[in-house]
Structure formats: C-alpha cells, structure tokens
DNA sequence: CTGAAAGCGCTAACAG
DNA sequence: CTGTTAGCGCTTTCAG
C-alpha cells in the first residue's frame, strides 16, 4: 500500500505538501496541488488513518455498543445515533455485545484501543466495565451507568400505566413477563407492574429478552391462567404470542396483551397488538447529541435525559 | 491517558520490557513482569491500538458494511459473521450504508484508513466503490461484486419456484413487488418471477426495499386487481400486508402472498405468511470464513458460494 | 533476560 | 507557499 512518501516522491514535493493538499488545511500552489492529487490518484493512495489518528490524537468515529443487533429497538437507536453523528461529520461503528458482559468488555477495550472519539453504550450490567472507560466520553442508553451521561426511558411509569390500562379494561389476573434480573429495564418494568397490581405477584416471570424466553415464560405462566400479560419487549412478544396461539388462546378476548416496543408488525396481527412505544430513534439521536457535547466539553457535569414511552392502544388489550 | 512510557517509568524498566510483558511474547523475569503489571493496573493503562497497529501493520478487526441495519435479514447476516469471526479471534464492527452509495463509500474509506483486516460488504451498486478496496481482502454478500469472493443466494430460482407455487395453487394474476432497479437481488427476483409467468408483465412494481415502498407499490398494484403477490423482502411485506388490510382484502383467500425472508412474525399473522427463507446467518458465517481464508492467503482465486433459499409454505398462499 | 534505538505513516511547528 | 524536522505510542531488532 502506497504511503504519503510515495506520493510525495512521485509528485516531486515534500510529504508536508502532500499532507496539506490532501487535508486542505493550509493553502497550496494550485499546480503542485494538482500534481499531488494526480500522483495520489495514480498510486491508489489511501491515507493511513492509524498514523493520522496517532498523530492527531483524535478520531472522527464513534462506537455504539448495543446489546442485541437483532432487536429492532436497538437498531432504531442505531439509526438515531448514526443520523445525528453523520451530520456532525462523525461515523459510527456498531458492536454487538449480545447481552454478554465478556463481549461487551472486549468491544469496550477495542473502542478504547482504537481511541474512538466517544462511545454510546447500552450496558449489560450496571457498572463493571464502565471503569475502563474513564477518560473516554461515554453515554449510556436504555440502561443507567453511574456517573455518566445517559438517555433513559421512564420504563417504570410506562409499565405501571400499561398495567393500569389492562386493569381499567377489566382484566384481573395480570401477569408480567420481563427480562433477566439485573437488567435495569427489566427490573423497572417489573416494578411498574407491581406499582399497579399492588406488590409482588405469583404471576411474574423473568426470561431472556428474546422470543424463546418469552415463549417459555408464557407457557409456564399459562398454567396459572392469567387473563392478561405485560410483556417486556417485542422479541419476547413474538414468543408469547406463539405460545398463546398454540394454547388456542386469542389475545384480547382470552388474554389481554401489552408489550413494550412498537414493532412494525404490531398492526398486522389480529387483533393488533397494544404496545408501549419507546422513542428509540430519538433516544439514539439524543445520545449522539450528548456525546458530541461531551466531546466538545469533557468536564461538564453529567446529564441524564429521560424520555417518555407512550401507550398505543390497539385490540390486544380489549376483551 | 497513560502511555507505555509512563508504565515503564513507574515500574522502573524500559518500554521494551513493558511491551514484552503485556504481549507475553518473549519471556520476562517474573519479578519485573509483576512490577509492570502492577504499574499498568495502577495507572489504568490501555495500550494505544493505533500505535500498535501502525507498528504491526495489522488489525484483528473486520468491517461489515450492510445496506440496512433495520432489516432483519442483514442483522442475521451480522450475527453469522460475528460468531465465526469471534471464534477466530477477530472482532467485527458494523457500518450501515443505508442503501446509500455515498455513505457506503465513506465507510469503505474509513475501513481502509483504519486498516481493518478485511471487509464484508453488501454492495449498494455493482462496482463503483470496489475499486478502492484493492489490496484489502473483501467478500461480498447478498449482491455480487466483480472479481472477489462472494456469498449469494439463488434468488432467481427461488422467485421462480415461489411464483410457480402460486400458480400451482390456482392463482392466475400474479403481481411482483421488488426492490429498485440495479439492486441485483431485486432484479433477480423479478427475473425469476418472469421466468414463471412467461415474460414481463404489467403487474410488476419496483420500490424501495422498505415498508413504505411495499405499501405504495401494493396500493398501486391493487388497482389492477392481482390475485397474488410475490414480495421482495420482509420489510416490504409489512407494507403490502397493511395495504391489503386497508383494502379489506384477506391474504390467501383474496390475494395470495409470498414474501422473501422468514421474519419472526411471519407465523403470528393470520393466515401465516408463506415465505422464501434465506439462510442469512449461514451467509454471514460463510462470508466470514471466506474472508478469513483470504486474509490468510491473499492470492487464491476468488470463490463464489451460492446458497439456496427455500420456500416455507404457510397459509397466505392458499385460497 | 533487558535496554537502547529505529521506525511504522502521518501532521504540525518552524524556518526559509 | 514549501521543505525540514520532530515526534504521536508502540514493537522489534540488535547489542549487551
């Protein structure tokens, strides 16, 4: 791979001139500039970003570490981050920690080693890996991280409201299927559910935030004949709905269902799924804004933004 | 941020010793090694990957540039790539080109600049940006790229079979909704459709590979009263099904529907959606394997793998 | 087994 | 406006 020296030699100028031309920093004689560009073109020269960044001590790339690429909620966040980062001249690379603290740690280390300008993280656990991040701007999304910027959603309240909505619609034995213990959103959603039903209930189940988790939890819970279910996310909802179908139960009429996340398919099913829509893209956009702000001004106090989720009432929560 | 020099000073050794200790390359006196590790720990030292890679002239990261993060087909590919890359000790960063050649170009440049070990790409167009990649191992997925390793799916045949399946089930006015001209999978799917219906048809529509595109195309096509629809991907299918619903048409009975990609929700709707399932994860895994092979042996001739999609017959293609 | 020193490719003073 | 030069932080000969 050709280097700046090759280009310089070929154009008959110094490396400094090549650098200046290609970066458009200082002004360069148009003729030399022409020669440089030509030489670069002919050689198929690509600046070595490693060297450049090493020298400049900065990168225009942001890392986004999310816990599940296959979850539309997180990909929507990714879009939000990306859109606002792009317009600010940053690129974003996405890493999938897969809800796995070990993989998360690996990606954090990589982000650190590659000296990205900042990282947006949906932490798998509340604290562990954050310690490593000292020094690099970070913002947490979806789940809290002590002492840093964060963009959260008021899950607890949303869960409570959704449960109250079910109660208001005449459901009396409401179950809750949520994510694993320790995952903050899962805990919060359970807490909100309890707020509404008046404390812990035997109709609570925890499982992976995936279709399989939802299915297993629902199958188990169905033995207790609940008449409604609050479901922790849309992946789980897929499993829950499958389980309902297999048991010959119709959502709404037999078992009221409300799930977090407004999946694209929510209106396609019959009855359409009542959901708690989270402003995922906006979460991403806000996270990117906070990150950019922190990069610009590393010492400002951390800010926590909490966005609101809102209930979209559809058929699955009406008898 | 502390450097290797800081660590060396604190441990009272040379930078060379620090490097050796931390990389476990050569053997180092256990006592010195202990001091080094301790110093590194205390300082919160993270090796600067930029410097390291610059020196070593290699990175253990792969770039995966896909055309739509919000499309489950591509995220499944991502999982496939990631899983096999991980086990080989590589990490993968994901970039979303958003079907935008401009963004694709940016990400390719970044990948090159950061000197990633290789890139997996689902190209937005057949050739343009590839030229830049000379020198870096690349494998194309989902869509072809001249002169390089690729992992494709036999879309044309799958589309033909799906259309024949509809014909076999008694549908006679079959429409086709596919992606934009120039996107190879879109062209292939249309070609397969034509193979089955015996040539170009007035019931063809092209649109963005998104829900909105599917919806608009379907609304338009519905004016021609087709009795069945072959749909280019699952995002489009969402829009198509919405349009059907709005028009009071039931899939299967009124309008047969087959769509590419087995979305998780396909079995949730009524009737369940007949799909052409593509082995997305396997595509990713195979792409990663090819890439790794090429990294190891840059001069071997390009290989093209074609995987088969298969029809999963469900209710939406039966009257 | 350890240290000194060179250099990866680039940018940014600093002179000219 | 252009060239010379000194590193950015790290690894890796080469001596000791």
Cα–Cα distance, B143 to B77 (Å, whole number) = 13
C-alpha closest to that of A277 among A65, A79, A68, A72: A72
Please judge whether A54 and B52 are an interchain contact, meaning their C-beta atoms are less than 8 angstroms apart: no
Domains belonging to chain A, first-starting first, are 1-45 (1.10.260.40), 51-153+280-307 (3.40.50.2300), 155-278+311-317 (3.40.50.2300)
Distance in Å, residue A52 CA to nucleotide C11 C1':
7
Quick check: A319 pLDDT over 90? no
CB contact under 8 A, B238 and A114: no
How close is the nearest chain A Cα to the Cα of B179, in Å? 19
| Tens-digit pLDDT profile for residues A174-192 | 999 999 998 999 999 999 9
How far in angstroms lies nucleotide C1's C1' from the CA of residue B42?
Answer: 25
Residues of chain A positioned with their CB less than 8 A from the CB of B94 = 69, 93-96
Q: How far apart are CA B203 and CA B225, in angstroms?
A: 9
Residues of B in contact with A47 (CB under 8 A): 113
Please give the protein residue whose CA is closest to the C1' of the nucleotide C7.
B55
Of A1, A51, A75, the CB nearest to B135: A1
| Chain-chain contact of A49 with B114 (C-beta, under 8 angstroms) | yes
Which residues get their CB within 7 angstroms of nucleic chain D?
A 12-17, 20, 26-29, 31-33, 51, 54-55, 57; B 1, 3-5, 15-16, 18-20, 22-23, 25, 45, 47-48, 51-52, 54-56
Q: How far is the CA of A228 from the C1' of C2 (A)?
A: 71
Touching check for A298 and chain B: CB below 8 Å? no
**Contact: A132, B93; criterion CB under 8 Å:** no
- How many Å does it take to go from CA A38 to C1' C14? 28
Q: Which residue of B has its CA nearest to A78?
A: B69
Closest residue of chain A to B242, computed from CA coordinates: A268
CA distance B269 to chain A (A): 5
CB contact under 8 A, A51 and B54: yes
Contact B114 A47 (CB under 8 A): no
**Segment 148-207 of chain B within 8 Å of chain A by CB:** none
Q: Give me the pLDDT at residue B117, please.
A: 92
Assess whether pLDDT exceeds 80 at residue A125. Answer: no
Whole-number pLDDT of residue A225 = 95
Q: Give the closest residue to C8 (Cα–C1′).
A: B55
Å from B227 (CA) to D9 (C1')? 67
Lowest-pLDDT choice from A128-142, A299-313, B11-25, B85-99: A128-142
Mean pLDDT across the stretch A73-102? 91
The residue in chain A having the minimum alpha-carbon distance to the alpha carbon of residue B109 is A46
Nearest CA distance, A265 vs chain B (angstrom): 6
pLDDT in tens, B50-107: 899 889 888 888 999 999 999 999 999 999 999 999 889 888 888 899 888 888 888 8
Nucleotides of C under 7 A from a protein CB: 1-5, 7-13
Residue of B93, B242, B265 with shortest CB distance to A93: B93
Q: What is the mean pLDDT of residues A234-239?
A: 97
Strand ranges across the sheet with A274-277: A204-206, A174-178, A228-231, A256-260, A274-277, A310-312
Per-residue CA distances from B142 to A295, B185, B189, B280, B292 (Å): 37, 7, 12, 9, 18
Q: What is the pTM of this model?
A: 0.89
pLDDT of residue A126: 64
Instruction: Residue B3: count other Cβ atoms within 10 Å of its Cβ.
Output: 16
From B56, which residue of chain A is nearest by alpha-carbon distance? Answer: A50
Q: Which nucleotides of D are covered by protein (CB under 7 A)?
A: 1-5, 7-13
With an 8 Å Cβ cutoff, is B311 touching chain A?
A: no
- Asked if B94's CB is within 8 angstroms of A107's CB, the reply is no
Out of B49, B79, B269, closest to residue A70 by CB: B79
**B240 and chain A: CB distance < 8 Å anywhere?**
no
**Nucleotide with C1' nearest the A30 CA:** D1
Q: Which residues, at least 6 apart from A9, have a Cβ–Cβ distance to it below 8 Å?
A: none
Q: How far is the CA of B54 from the C1' of D14 (A)?
A: 21
The average pLDDT across A82-90 equals 90
pLDDT at B50: 87
Residue with tokens 């690429």: A69
SS (H, E, C) chain B: CCCHHHHHHHHCCCHHHHHHHHHCCCCCCHHHHHHHHHHHHHHCCCCCHHHHHHHHCCCCEEEEEECCCCCHHHHHHHHHHHHHHHHCCCEEEEEECCCCHHHHHHHHHHHHHCCCCEEEECCCCCCHHHHHHCCCCEEEECCCCCCCEEEEECHHHHHHHHHHHHHHCCCCCEEEEECCCCCHHHHHHHHHHHHHHCCCCCCEEECCCCHHHHHHHHHHHHCCCCCEEEECCHHHHHHHHHHHHHCCCCECCCEEEEEECCCCCCCCCCCCCEEEECCHHHHHHHHHHHHHHHHHCCCCCCCEEEECCEEECCHHHCC
Quote the pLDDT of residue B161.
98
A295 pLDDT more than 70 = yes
pLDDT at residue B46, rounded to an integer: 87
B308 or A129: whose pLDDT is higher?
B308
Residue with tokens 């008449």: A227
Place of tokens 């309890």: A194
pLDDT at B106: 85
A-chain residue closest to B63, CA distance: A93
Q: b/e for A134-170, b at 16 or more Cβ within 10 A? A: eebbbbbbbbbbeebbbbbbbbbbbbbbbbbbbeebe
User: What dihedral angle (degrees, nearest 10) is formed by the CA atoms of A166, A169, A171, A174?
Assistant: 0
Q: Tokens 């963005």 belong to which residue?
A: B208
Q: Are the C-beta atoms of residues B130 and B282 closer than 8 Å to each other?
A: no
| pLDDT given for residue B25 in this prediction | 79
Mutate to test the interface with B, among A4, A50, A284 (most CBs of B within 10 A): A50
Q: How many CB pairs under 8 A join A and B?
A: 140
Distance CA B155, CA B166 (A): 16
Please list the pLDDT of chain B residue by residue as tens digits (319 residues): 889 999 999 999 999 999 999 988 778 899 999 999 999 999 989 888 889 988 988 888 899 999 999 999 999 999 999 999 988 988 888 889 988 888 888 888 888 888 899 999 999 876 656 666 777 899 999 999 888 899 999 999 999 999 999 999 999 999 999 999 989 999 999 999 999 999 999 999 999 999 999 999 999 999 999 999 999 999 999 999 999 999 999 999 999 999 999 999 999 999 999 999 999 999 999 999 999 999 988 889 999 999 999 999 999 999 8
CA separation (Å) from B48 to A92, A112, B221? Answer: 20, 8, 57
Confidence of residue A130 (pLDDT cuts 50, 70, 90): low
């Amino acid at each position: 791979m050709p280097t700046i020296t090759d280009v310089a030699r070929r154009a008959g100028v110094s490396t400094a001139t090549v650098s200046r031309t290609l970066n458009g920093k200082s002004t360069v004689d148009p003729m030399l500039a022409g020669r440089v560009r030509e030489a670069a073109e002919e050689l198929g020269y690509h600046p070595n970003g490693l060297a450049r960044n090493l020298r400049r001590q900065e990168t225009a790339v942001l890392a986004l570490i999310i816990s599940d690429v296959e979850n539309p909620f997180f990909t929507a966040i990714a879009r939000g981050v990306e859109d606002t980062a792009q317009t600010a001249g940053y690129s974003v690379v996405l890493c999938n920690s897969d809800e796995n603290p070990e993989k998360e740690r690996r990606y954090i280390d990589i982000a650190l080693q590659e000296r990205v300008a900042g990282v947006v993280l949906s932490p798998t656990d509340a604290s562990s890996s954050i310690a490593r991040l000292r020094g690099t701007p970070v913002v947490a999304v979806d789940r809290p991280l002590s002492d840093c910027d964060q963009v959260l959603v008021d899950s607890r309240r949303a869960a409570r409201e959704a449960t109250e909505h079910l109660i208001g619609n005449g459901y009396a034995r409401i179950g809750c299927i949520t994510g694993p213990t320790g995952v903050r959103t899962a805990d919060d959603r359970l807490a909100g559910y309890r707020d509404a039903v008046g404390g812990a209930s035997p109709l609570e189940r925890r499982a992976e935030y995936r279709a399989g988790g939802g299915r297993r939890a629902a199958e188990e819970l169905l033995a207790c004949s609940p008449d409604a279910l609050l479901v922790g996310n849309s992946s789980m909802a897929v499993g829950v709905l499958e389980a309902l179908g297999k048991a010959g139960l119709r959502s709404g009429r037999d078992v009221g269902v409300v799930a977090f996340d407004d999946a694209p398919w929510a209106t396609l099913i019959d009855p359409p799924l009542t959901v708690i829509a989270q402003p995922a893209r906006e979460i991403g956009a806000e996270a990117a804004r906070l990150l950019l702000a922190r990069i610009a001004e590393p010492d400002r106090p951390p800010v926590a933004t909490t966005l609101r989720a809102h209930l979209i009432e559809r058929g699955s929560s009406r008898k």
